[in-house]
Structure 1
Amino acid sequence: MPDEHPHSELLELAKTVAVEAGEAVLKVYDKGDFDAYQKEDDSPVTSADYLANDIIVKRLSDATPDIPILSEENKHASLEERKDWPRYWLIDPIDGTQEFIARSGDFAVNIALIENNQPKIGVIFWPPGQSLYFAEKGKGAYKSSPDGEEKIAVRKLDDPKNSVVMIAISRRQSREKVLGRMCAKRVYQTLPLGSCSLKACFIAEGKADVFMRIGVTGEWDTGASQCIVSEAGGSIAAANFEPLTYNQRHSLENPDFVVMGDQRVPWKDVVQYNDFVNPHRN
């Protein structure tokens, strides 16, 4: 592994770039002056996504020309090209594009460093909330906001087997659909939020306990979140509780997944998901 870029420097770089891109996106968001399009998979994308992508790719390429970049908004290298990458940047320029368009404020910039097929660094910037979440594997998870910088951790439930569980759910997802996949013996509260990464960050800082994502996502949707949540004492796994994988399949599509807080909770009993779909695992 080349030693030209210590992880501490790469983390600071990712933080700086995420904020720079996020501030540029926020200016567009505040003016409401952007164009929206539909991609081939029918997911939305905007001129703000492309603006953020251009900023992130240029800044990372200039600073670390030896580290490849895999971004949602760029053409993706084939598995044959990327399978031997020892590490690479994994980027989602705007996670929550639909929320950006709907003006809910629930969108974020995601930058992860994947090393040996696992997230090593995770950075998520929430522009409307002026909040930067970040982590380096083995060094803990942190949040920087106008109130200062603090180490964050998942919420510890008083009684892991019986306490009320706070579920982060999509603003556009049926509450009944989510609760229908949870153990009927538990008591739940719900917290509506937009992007996947913000739900994960809220779990990492103890504002929610669990989040299940049902539907199409890419590896860029979980890379930064997984590092932050794990360092905060939680975990992210496929909905059948198998580990998520990075850069090991032809497809970059994730299976349905679940983000979990307090690891003392028997999550396999709480999350009762029987129609798991695990796409393109080969």
Structure 2
Amino acid sequence: MPDDAHPDLLELAKKIAVEAGEAVLEVYDKGEFDAYQKDDESPVTSADYLANDIINKRLKEATPDIPILSEENKHASLAERKHWPRYWLIDPIDGTQEFIARSGDFAVNIALIENNQPAIGVIFWPPGQSLYYAQKGKGAFKSSPDGDHPIKVRKLDDPKKSVVMIAISRRQSREKVLSRMCARRVYQTLPLGSCSLKACFIAEGKADVFMRIGITGEWDTGASQCIVSEAGGSIAAANFEPLTYNQRHSLENPDFVVMGDQRVPWQDVIQYDDFVNPHLD
């Protein structure tokens, strides 16, 4: 796809993410939704399906030639997917548990993957009325009631000694994360739901690192990886190997880490000795 097509696709993704997010927020405010449990025991709600329907409909209307891979759709086999030069990667609601728990920490994620790498990332946080977005090579931005402005990861005064702010799950044991961080550093924690919102907070300098331990899908990191990378950070598997997109039969991610200031010696800070990737196929 030529570069001059990207701005139109970025604007399209932004518009659709906001439309889906506003529909989800209306359901959230009313508190009228049904919750279910999927085969993998993860939660899903009628709001997830509503957002998924809106996103799929709008994308199919505007870009019928670009396939869609969504958490809530039936997934094509690798035999079919491996021939896709580009595709939309969707998480209709990242943070469904938070939506159900009414913490407000949930977001709509839309990414465009090209040649197995995130090229566009859009994340809309409905309760915060904040839209985070990025295009590969063009920087990362945040749009909110305060206006539009570029975002960058926080630069620590001393990359080797400054206090590190960890974005940490509201639902996960703090010890599970802190036990994998170097004991010689000093940390503060910022409790927050939704993988993608934690990544966005790192991208705009409100936190420095986030470690995700547990099952996620490629749709949980596609948009975030584009935004964080363009803001000067990075996302990698917990063993610091690159995340992959559309290259395995499984669409599950390994445990992963989102890192801000790249001057920090993250491989010393993060001590994840027991990393095992169960999906090497």
TM-score range, shorter chain: over 0.9
Code of the residue aligned with 2:78 in structure 1: it is L
The residue that corresponds to 1:109 in the other structure is: 108
Coordinate RMSD, CA, aligned:
1.0
Question: How far apart are residue 173 of structure 1 and its match?
Answer: 1.5
The residue that corresponds to 2:128 in the other structure is: 129
The residue that corresponds to 1:92 in the other structure is: 91
Percent sequence identity is: 88
The residue that corresponds to 1:212 in the other structure is: 211
TM-score under structure 1 length normalisation: 0.98
Code of the residue aligned with 1:122 in structure 2: it is G
| SS of structure 2 residue aligned to 1:177 | helix
Cα 1:4–1:61 change in 2 (3 A) is: farther
Contact 1:254/1:279 (CA < 8 Å) preserved in 2? no
Match status 1:262 vs 2:265: no
Match status 1:202 vs 2:186: no
Code of the residue aligned with 2:39 in structure 1: it is E
Between the aligned partners of 1:17 and 1:5, the Cα distance in structure 2 is 20
The residue that corresponds to 1:166 in the other structure is: 165
| SS of structure 1 residue aligned to 2:280 | coil
- Corresponding pairs, count: 281
The residue that corresponds to 1:49 in the other structure is: 48
Superposition pairs of residues 112-261 of structure 1, within 5 angstroms: 112-261=111-260
Superposition pairs of residues 14-53 of structure 1, within 5 angstroms: 14-53=13-52
Question: How far apart are residue 5 of structure 1 and its match?
Answer: 7.6
Cα 1:38–1:5 change in 2 (3 A) is: farther
Code of the residue aligned with 2:224 in structure 1: it is S
Between the aligned partners of 2:188 and 2:231, the Cα distance in structure 1 is 22
Could you list the runs of 5+ residues in structure 2 that have no partner in the other structure? none
Between the aligned partners of 1:184 and 1:4, the Cα distance in structure 2 is 45
Code of the residue aligned with 2:238 in structure 1: it is A
Between the aligned partners of 1:175 and 1:19, the Cα distance in structure 2 is 32
| SS of structure 2 residue aligned to 1:202 | helix
The residue that corresponds to 2:71 in the other structure is: 72
Question: How far apart are residue 279 of structure 1 and its match?
Answer: 2.3
Code of the residue aligned with 1:142 in structure 2: it is F
1:69-123: CA deviations, max 9, x gaps?
A: 0000000000001101000000000000000000000000000000000000000
Question: How far apart are residue 177 of structure 1 and its match?
Answer: 2.1
Code of the residue aligned with 2:252 in structure 1: it is E
Contact 1:238/1:255 (CA < 8 Å) preserved in 2? yes
Between the aligned partners of 1:176 and 1:197, the Cα distance in structure 2 is 21
The residue that corresponds to 2:82 in the other structure is: 83
Q: Which 4+ stretches in 1 moved above 6 angstroms?
A: none
Code of the residue aligned with 1:128 in structure 2: it is P
Cα 1:5–1:21 change in 2 (3 A) is: farther
